[in-house]
Each structure stands twice: as C-alpha cells, then as structure tokens.
Amino acid sequence: MKRIGFLSFGHYQPVPGSKTRTARDVLTQTIELAVAAEEIGIDNASVRVHHFARQLASPFPLLAAMAARTSRIELGTGVIDMRYENPLYMAEEAAATDLISDSRLQLGVSRGSPETALAGYESFGYVPAEGQTDADMARQHAGVFLRAIEGAGVAHANPEMTGGQTGGLSIMPQSETLRERIWWGSGTRSTAKWAAEMGMNLQSSTLLTEDTGESFGDLQASQIEIYRDAWKAAGWEREPRVSVSRSILPITTDIDRMYFGGRQDDAEDQVGYIGGELARFGKSYAGEPDEIAGALVQDAAVMSADTLLLTVPNQLGVDYNARLLETVAEHIAPAIGWSRALV
C-alpha cells in the first residue's frame, strides 16, 4: 500500500510574506495542518527537527498535541538528531507520545544533518568518546534508545524500594509496538544496510552524502535495494517500511505561479560538497499536476518506496499547504499507486 504524507521543516521568521512569524505560529499551524491533512485523506504528518535555528526543535510536545487533535493520521519525525538526545529520557517521551496517539507514531531518528551550531550537541552535554565520531555517538545513542523501548532493564533496582528486587528496571511507560515504528534516516548505502541489520525502517534522506553519477532517484533506489536485501538477510519477520521525500509544487493558480513558476535553480539534481563530503540533492518537481505525475512515475525511488513525504513550504500557511495537499491527492498521487484514506 502506497502512503503519502507531508514533511514540514518548521521555518519561522518575521519576514514579508511569512505566515509563520513566531515559534507559536509554526507550532499551532503545524497542528492545524495535521488536522487538515487527515480530513483530506493524507496518511502521514511529519516534522523536521533542528537545534539552534528558527525551526521546529522539540518534537514530542508538538506530536502529542497533533495526536490529541487527530485520530487516524500517522505522526512522525524526519529526523531527530540522536547526537543531541538522552536516549532514556527520549524513550520515556516517545512511549508517552505513542500512547497518546494510540500507536500512530512513526519516529525517524538519525545522525542529523548539517547544522547552524558548530558541534552543537556538545552544548547539550554529549561529546564523542576518544576515537569515536559524532556519527558513532549518534548510533550508540540510538542503540540505547532501542533497547529501552524494547523493555530492557537499563537501571539497577533499589531493593529497599522494590521489596528485595535486584534485577534491571525498564523505563516507564512502555508502548508495546513502538519498536516496529522506528525509522533510521540514511544518507548512504552503508548506513541503510546498518539500519536493516538493526531492524529499523528506512527514511532515505533528501541529501545523500555520496555520488555515483546516477540520478538522485536511481541512487536512492539502489540504496533501498541494498536495505531490503540486508533486511532479508537479517531474518526479520515483519515487512519493513521505506520512505522518500520530495519537493512537489503543483502549479494551478496565479499564486502558485508567483511563488514557483519558472523555477530552474532546483529543477535538476544538485551535486556539491557538505562538510568535505560529496553530496547529491534531489530536484524539485514544480509544474502542472499531470506533468509532475508523469515525472514521479519515472522516479525509481518514489515507485520503490511505500511512503512519499512531501516537503511543504510551511511559511505560506495552513490554507495554502492544505490546498497543495488536496491537489496532490486529487491529481498526482493516484499515478504512483496511492488511494485516498477513508475519512
């Protein structure tokens, strides 16, 4: 079953034309957009997480509020930067949020992306050990988090308080199936393989920190194939899920043309260096809905993934983005095998 959702980067800034001038604006509007998306029949409402920037930063209060206002739509992150996280506290927060949502959380975690702060995670109190990279630390935090939500004993019991019990204590609360709904945001084929071995679903990144000369979609499709092969080799019983994200901007009105008509700077894949690593960015799809639908059918990764997340221009407000989602649902998504959820 193909699913579609939105992914909000959560930008806010008091600049001309912005509907999200303050942090309160972007938080409340993200909740309202999740409500609108559910009414349209969209399957997923996800948010990006960035620190030290005018963007969404603390996802769990927001996801819990989104959960309280909706009943069907999946709620997710893309992604939580594990370099910044206390994995046990995060496990408590995630389980509580999942219980509020009635098991609708689809939690994307990863190393994170290039950021405003220089080694900002160190300001949060997390410094890689000697001989360890920040990516190693992120994966270590992720491993502790996974064990915690699986119910592993992560603290020694105090026999004076537990009637003589001396075994390990699990974090509380626990959400029984949350472990199956954790995703790793992968920017390379090697980390996709690792995610499969760890039993996590795959979020293929909007930025791949490798380049083979293939198109972004073909490189992502190769990553997805490696992931699924590794999943099968690991012997996991359930079917994994895979998501990709795309900037999809249907142009149907004069307002759309004013914002996105004639865009050429991102109409092709972009290749460059990020932090000394060669990286490939995916192109944007802007144009008439039937043109976009035809192009997406030719995108190997979009067709291979079970979930497509649309990166929305959140600063244009709830009404604009709800109309964008409705246009995609009505005129574009059926071409890639999606059907509207019953509402």
pLDDT over 70 at 182, yes or no: yes
Of residues 182 and 216, more confidence is placed in: 182
**Mean pLDDT value across residues 171-192:** 95
pLDDT more than 90, % of the chain: 80
Q: What share of the chain is helix, strand, coil (3-state, %, to 5)?
A: 40, 20, 40
Residues 83-95 have pLDDT tens digits of 999 999 999 999 9
Q: Is 343 exposed, middle or buried (0-12, 13-18, 19+ CB in 10 A)?
A: exposed
8 Å CB contact between 316 and 19: yes
Tell me which amino acid residue 33 is. L
Backbone angles phi, psi at 284, to 5 degrees: -95, 150
| pLDDT at residue 257 in the model | 94
Report which residue type is found at 128: P
pTM summary value: 0.94
Pairwise CA distance, residues 326 & 333, whole Å: 10
Cβ atoms of residues 325 and 6 within 8 Å:
yes
Mean local confidence (pLDDT), 61-90 = 98
Rounded to a whole number of angstroms, the CA Rg of the chain reads 20
Hey, which residues does 4 pair with through a beta bridge? 308
What confidence category does residue 162 fall into, taking pLDDT thresholds of 50, 70 and 90? confident
> pLDDT tens digit string along 307-341?
999 999 999 999 999 999 999 999 999 999 999 97
Average pLDDT across the chain, whole number: 92
pLDDT digits (tens, 9 = 90+) for 270-301: 655 556 565 556 678 999 999 999 999 999 99
Confidence class of residue 208 from pLDDT cuts 50, 70 and 90? confident
